Amino acid sequence: MVHAPNDHPLDAGAENPRRLYVFNGGFLFQKRIRRILALSGHRISLGRPGANDLIGVWGNADTAHRGRRMAARTKSPLLTIEDAFLRSLHPGRSGEAPIGLIIDHAGNHFDASTPTDLETLLASHPLDDSALLDRARAAMAQMQDHHLSKYSATRPDLDGPAAGYVLIIDQTKGDASVTASNGDRTRFLEMLTIAREEHPGARFVIKSHPETAAGHRPGHYQDQDCADNISIYSGDASPWTLLNGATAVYTLSSQMGFEAILAGHKPRVFGTPFYAGWGLTEDEIFFPRRGRRLTRAQLFAAAMILYPIWYDPYRDCLCPLETAITTLTAQSRAWREDRQGWVASGMRLWKRGHLQKFFEAPQKLRFAATPAQAKQLAHTDGRRHMAWANTAPANVAHVEDGFLRSKGLGADLIPPLSLVVDHKGIYYDPTRPSDLESHISRRALRLSPSETQRAERLIDQLNQHNLSKYNLSGEIPTLPTGPGRPPVILVPGQVEDDASIRKGTVETGVSTNHHLLAQTRLDNPNAYIVWKPHPDVRAGLRKGHIDDPTQFADLVIGDCDMGALLKQVDEVSTMTSLTGFEALLRGARVVTYGAPFYAGWGLTTDRGEIPERRLTGPRPTLAALVHACLIDYPRYFDPVSGLACPVEIIVERLQKDQIAKPGPFNRTLAKAQGLLSSYAHLWRS
């Protein structure tokens, strides 16, 4: 029986589960595995199976013989269960749960002694659906772009050995896939000998298995096998980096051989892995059942889309491969950025608990009272130094709220759902480059069809649910409608001592709310102008009050649903407000009098001083700008699962109001802050 769970409604079998009898304690104690099996229609059971019951075993584990004996006695169908080919950040022996499983009704995918569900898929499924193959090509590219592998706690920023080597892939002793391929140290040494014969004079790099590098299980190669032109690599560089530097790849049965195919190699294979025998490898062993010639996309579609079952830890449901990829991308990014640990300075007390959660893995975030103390602590502990952007000294990572922040204001001490960590500058400071500018320029040059579709879906979701940075509620004003009406221009007020004003309105002549409103009226004498002061200014917490805005504006409004309001205006006139970016998503014209991050790329009408590097750089589409600003640049934290997550999860949490509310301490502190607003300069200095 060949199953393709993602071709059918997800979780379809969970309502009428079949009993799955197991004889391995791991099924009982590993919560994630139990949950994935339950969602796929299997109820873990103990005892002796009856009619219509199933027996489950974990691969060729030491305990698998128990289940196989019981299946033979009772004639019950046997399911072989294994980790999927994208598993997690770290190996299972490090205690991390998988994001997908393989459930095979015929055998182990790595054992070619009998046909498995995967082999049957590869041999008999048409694999000719253009939509399926397009998904496969897009997912292959995403895995390579984001350096995802079975274990993704690797470092794309590290260089591997100097390019031009022959790559030999080691595996762990006793691994089931090695045993199924009759592998032992002699066989691995033979593979190395043949590689040397076929590539005389070449350099050879032996890639250690991640479990060997972590000290869990030994590999087959030893230091004594090295020579002047043979070295063992056990570093943290991404497998894709190593594959890109290789001229040839040799493997027994490693999954990295599969990834070598995806990277464009035709690996030499000395064992019987699932990917051998289909015309994409040079095989030492003949596979009489595998006569079909496949493309890389067909192999990937069967092995990664149709065969495994993928799990979404945020929604607690089964999901397609694409969701698993975005999950692992978010979590691997967080690990890669946080792996050294952080020391933070300039962080207010009320933020610290949330920041601990945001940056907790793999080492807890530490706080320092001053930048100097943070620098010393970072040097002593080998950590990196971060600081809140408006307090950050040079050569320190700048931290700020992201563009989908919360449901409520920071002034109300509501923690953010997204943060940006910028190593070059910060997005609101146009006087120097930032990581965001790099993302925008890169996306202007390269945005795949699947990435374009993702950004466009995100725009649609934000518009459909009227989502914005703070997602405040309030009554939408009645604005002019009908033929012949004047153009409606929204002018959002800002906090005048905000860093984006100080940095982004240099030499523009428009650097206060009064200047902005007056200039907008001067440039648009016949427009219907709506003035919306900043909530912190209205509350008396920050600078930027206008005594009589009605001398320039036709309507003054308070807090309201910004997403809904933007759908009713024709134009936004702003210095540097994020509202201008949100207006672009709603199709409104945007005029800038400063240099916000979204200005200077050809999507806005700019009256301010724009950095020359933007004006002469590549021109992004709106989808490219959104991908850079909302997908590439920020990091997101899911308040429900407590995990790093992709932007789509935050959109869903905001839409469903599944977000953390401020606790008693924050509410009390926010109220006190409001009562003492005239002394705000004391805690903002």
pLDDT at 196 over 80: yes
Let me know if residue 132 belongs to a domain: yes
Rounded to an integer, the average pLDDT of 594-617 is 96
Partners of 318 in beta bridges = 311
Q: Alpha carbon of 634 to those of 391, 465, 647: distances in Å?
A: 19, 20, 9
Same domain, 380 and 431: yes
Predicted local confidence at residue 677, as pLDDT: 45
pLDDT at 10 over 70: no
Cβ 378 vs Cβ 384: under 8 Å: yes
Let me know if residue 238 belongs to a domain: yes
Q: Which residues contact 448 (CB under 8 A, 6 or more apart)?
A: 138, 141
Give the Cα-Cα-Cα angle 83, 170, 256 (nearest 5 degrees). 50
Spatial separation of the C-alpha atoms in residues 535 and 376, rounded to whole Å: 38
* Amino acid (1-letter code) at residue 133: L
Let me know if residue 287 belongs to a domain: no
Task: Pull the structure tokens for residue 157.
Answer: 């920023």
Tell me, letter by letter, the H, E, C secondary structure of 177-234. HHHHCCCCHHHHHHHHHHHHHHCCCCEEEEECCHHHHCCCCCECCCHHHCECCEEEEC
Predicted local confidence at residue 668, as pLDDT: 52
Q: Which residues contact 77 (CB under 8 A, 6 or more apart)?
A: 54, 55, 71, 105
Task: For 107, list phi and psi in degrees, rounded to 5.
Answer: 165, -165
- pLDDT averaged over every residue in the chain: 92
pLDDT at 684 over 50: no
At 346-374, the pLDDT tens digits run 999 989 999 999 997 778 899 999 999 99
Give the Cβ contact number of residue 132 at 10 Å: 18
Spatial separation of the C-alpha atoms in residues 480 and 489, rounded to whole Å: 11
**Dihedral, CA of residue 155, residue 159, residue 164 and residue 166, to nearest 10:** -40
Spatial separation of the C-alpha atoms in residues 685 and 676, rounded to whole Å: 15
At 538-575, the pLDDT tens digits run 878 789 999 999 999 999 999 899 999 999 999 999 99
Predicted local confidence at residue 509, as pLDDT: 81
Name the residue among 351, 435, 341 with its Cα closest to residue 388.
351
Predicted local confidence at residue 680, as pLDDT: 47
Q: Which residue, of 330, 355, 379, is where some domain finishes?
A: 330
Give the Cα-Cα-Cα angle 632, 335, 440 (nearest 5 degrees). 15
Q: Alpha carbon of 307 to those of 9, 35, 281, 300, 404: distances in Å?
A: 15, 18, 21, 10, 36
Predicted local confidence at residue 640, as pLDDT: 95
At 264-294, the pLDDT tens digits run 999 999 999 999 999 999 999 999 999 999 9
Task: For 432, list phi and psi in degrees, rounded to 5.
Answer: -150, 160
Same domain, 521 and 627: yes
Same domain, 536 and 575: yes
Let me know if residue 45 belongs to a domain: yes
| ω into 618 cis (within 30 of 0) | no
Name the residue among 655, 628, 666, 658 with its Cα closest to residue 402.
628
Let me know if residue 76 belongs to a domain: yes
Cβ 544 vs Cβ 513: under 8 Å: yes
Percent of the chain topping pLDDT 90: 84
Contacts 24+ apart (CB under 8 A), 406-409: 406/470, 406/471, 406/659, 407/470, 407/471, 407/472, 407/654, 407/657, 407/659, 408/470, 408/471, 408/472, 408/662, 409/470, 409/472, 409/535, 409/536
Rounded to an integer, the average pLDDT of 95-107 is 96
Same domain, 221 and 250: yes
Name the residue among 16, 15, 35 with its Cα closest to residue 27.
35
Place of tokens 């809904």: 564
Cβ 451 vs Cβ 632: under 8 Å: no
Predicted local confidence at residue 667, as pLDDT: 44
pLDDT confidence bin for 308, thresholds 50/70/90:
very high
Same domain, 227 and 303: no
Predicted local confidence at residue 261, as pLDDT: 98
Cβ 183 vs Cβ 252: under 8 Å: yes
Q: Alpha carbon of 82 to those of 85, 98, 102: distances in Å?
A: 9, 10, 5
Same domain, 421 and 538: no
Give the Cβ contact number of residue 353 at 10 Å: 13
pLDDT at 682 over 90: no
Predicted local confidence at residue 662, as pLDDT: 63
Q: How many helices (H) and strands (E) does the chain have?
A: 26, 26
Predicted local confidence at residue 645, as pLDDT: 97
Task: Pull the structure tokens for residue 61.
Answer: 């584990």
Predicted local confidence at residue 412, as pLDDT: 62
Spatial separation of the C-alpha atoms in residues 638 and 354, rounded to whole Å: 11
Tell me, letter by letter, the H, E, C secondary structure of 72-116. HHHCCCEEEEEECCCCECCCHHHCCCCCEEEEECCCCCCCCCCCC
Let me know if residue 654 belongs to a domain: no
Half-sphere exposure (CA, 13 Å, Cβ side) for 230? 17
Residues spanned by the domain of 69: 1-146+293-330
Predicted local confidence at residue 683, as pLDDT: 42
pLDDT at 579 over 60: yes
Percent of the chain topping pLDDT 70: 93
Same domain, 6 and 24: yes
Rounded to an integer, the average pLDDT of 578-607 is 97
Same domain, 621 and 475: yes
Same domain, 74 and 37: yes
Q: Which residue, of 241, 273, 305, is where some domain finishes?
A: 273
Cβ 105 vs Cβ 115: under 8 Å: no
Place of tokens 């649910």: 465
CATH number of the domain to which 203 belongs:
3.40.50.2000
If residue 144 lies in a helix (H) or strand (E), which one and from where to where?
helix 130-145
Let me know if residue 234 belongs to a domain: yes
Q: Which residues contact 469 (CB under 8 A, 6 or more apart)?
A: 401, 403, 404, 405, 562, 578, 582
Same domain, 47 and 121: yes
At 623-670, the pLDDT tens digits run 999 999 999 999 999 999 999 999 999 999 999 998 876 655 444 544
* Amino acid (1-letter code) at residue 331: Q
If residue 519 lies in a helix (H) or strand (E), which one and from where to where?
helix 513-523
Q: Which residue, of 245, 273, 301, is where some domain finishes?
A: 273
At 117-149, the pLDDT tens digits run 999 999 999 999 999 999 999 999 999 999 999
Spatial separation of the C-alpha atoms in residues 473 and 408, rounded to whole Å: 9
Predicted local confidence at residue 685, as pLDDT: 36
pLDDT at 297 over 80: yes
CATH number of the domain to which 492 belongs:
3.40.50
Predicted local confidence at residue 669, as pLDDT: 47
Predicted local confidence at residue 95, as pLDDT: 87
Same domain, 191 and 227: yes
Predicted local confidence at residue 410, as pLDDT: 57
Cβ 92 vs Cβ 83: under 8 Å: yes
At 15-61, the pLDDT tens digits run 789 999 999 988 999 999 999 999 999 999 999 999 999 999 999 88
Let me know if residue 129 belongs to a domain: yes
Rounded to an integer, the average pLDDT of 311-322 is 98
Spatial separation of the C-alpha atoms in residues 508 and 504, rounded to whole Å: 9
Predicted local confidence at residue 508, as pLDDT: 72
Buried b (16+ CB within 10 A) or exposed e, 538-560: ebebbbbebeebeebbbbbbeee
Predicted local confidence at residue 535, as pLDDT: 84
Task: Pull the structure tokens for residue 201.
Answer: 């004079």
Rounded to an integer, the average pLDDT of 568-591 is 97
pLDDT at 108 over 60: yes
Rounded to an integer, the average pLDDT of 208-230 is 93
Same domain, 124 and 226: no
Task: Count the domains in the chain.
Answer: 4
pLDDT at 431 over 70: yes
Spatial separation of the C-alpha atoms in residues 539 and 471, rounded to whole Å: 17
**Chain center to CA of 221:** 35
Query: Checking DSSP bridges between strand 571-574 and strand 589-592, what pairing results, if any?
Result: parallel
